[in-house]
């Protein structure tokens, strides 16, 4: 069984601007809305979330490292660091917690430089293009996985 019944929700650079940033791509929901979606999804299972946002790569690494002992799983939208950061990938591997990578937009429909993620290979699941509902799907998946040992149709 999980130890903390807490998930860490991490949002990376520029996601603090949700609501006003490129609304045609990211919608009009704010980061506060995103965090409420995650908290509500977790709360419906009796779980809680710790939410963290930073525009700084090293702070994101620190937050991932701090998940050890304080969270059972991680939902991460690393923003543009998704496409550049070996440091974030190494941090996720180091802590070894279940991870879901989320992107609000469908990155596969966008520029070629968004097609590669350094994080996907170390994530248990990747959710793209579902808008901010992706955070809810990610929370539900992680809690199901952590509560039962494996999520319904999840690969091992
Ligand atoms: C994003 C997609 C990234 O390519 C971009 O750099 C972001 C947001 C998304 O949620 O769709 O900042 O992660």
116-133 residue pLDDT tens: 999 999 999 999 999 999
Give the pLDDT score at 26: 97
Q: What is the pLDDT of residues 62-81, one digit of tens each?
A: 999 999 999 999 999 999 99
Q: CA 4 to CA 38: how far, in whole Å?
A: 16
* Contacts with 96 (C-beta within 8 Å, 6 or more apart), sequence order: none
Residue 73's DSSP bridge partners are 7
Give the pLDDT score at 149: 57
| Positions in the chain whose pLDDT score sits under 50 | none
Distance 1 CA to ligand 1 centre (A): 33
Best CATH choice for the domain 6-148 from the list 3.40.50.9100, 3.65.10.10, 3.90.1010.10, 1.10.3720.10: 3.40.50.9100
Give the pLDDT score at 30: 98
The answer to whether 118 and 20 are in contact (CB under 8 A) is no
Give the pLDDT score at 148: 81
107 close to ligand 1 (CB < 6 Angstrom): yes
Q: Work out the percent of the chain whose per-residue pLDDT is above 90.
A: 92
Give the pLDDT score at 3: 80
pTM (two decimals): 0.95
Looking up tokens 């130890």, which residue turns up? 3
Burial (0-12, 13-18, 19+ Cβ within 10 Å), 144: middle
| Residues belonging to the active site | 26, 103
Residues in the chain: 156
Give the pLDDT score at 152: 54
Where are the domains positioned within the chain? 6-148
Which is the closest atom of ligand 1 to the Cα of 103?
A: 10
Cα angle at 150 between 148 and 152, to 5 degrees?
95
Give the pLDDT score at 98: 97
Q: CA 105 to CA 128: how far, in whole Å?
A: 6
85 close to ligand 1 (CB < 6 Angstrom): no
7 close to ligand 1 (CB < 6 Angstrom): no
34 close to ligand 1 (CB < 6 Angstrom): no
Distance 148 CA to ligand 1 centre (A): 31
Residue 11's DSSP bridge partners are 53, 77
């Amino acid at each position: 069984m999980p130890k903390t019944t807490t998930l860490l929700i991490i949002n990376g650079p520029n996601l603090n601007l949700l609501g006003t940033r490129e609304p045609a791509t990211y919608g009009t929901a704010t980061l506060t809305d995103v965090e409420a979606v995650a908290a509500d999804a977790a709360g419906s299972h009796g779980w809680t979330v710790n939410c963290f946002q930073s525009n700084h790569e090293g702070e994101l690494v620190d937050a991932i490292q701090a998940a050890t002992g304080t969270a059972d799983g991680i939902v991460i939208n690393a923003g543009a660091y998704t496409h550049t950061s070996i440091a974030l990938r190494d941090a996720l591997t180091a802590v070894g917690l279940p991870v879901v990578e989320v992107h609000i937009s469908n990155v596969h429909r966008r520029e070629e430089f968004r097609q590669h993620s350094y994080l996907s290979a170390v994530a248990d699941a990747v959710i793209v293009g579902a808008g901010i509902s992706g955070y809810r799907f990610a929370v539900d998946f992680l809690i199901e996985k952590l509560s039962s040992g494996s999520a319904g149709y999840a690969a091992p």
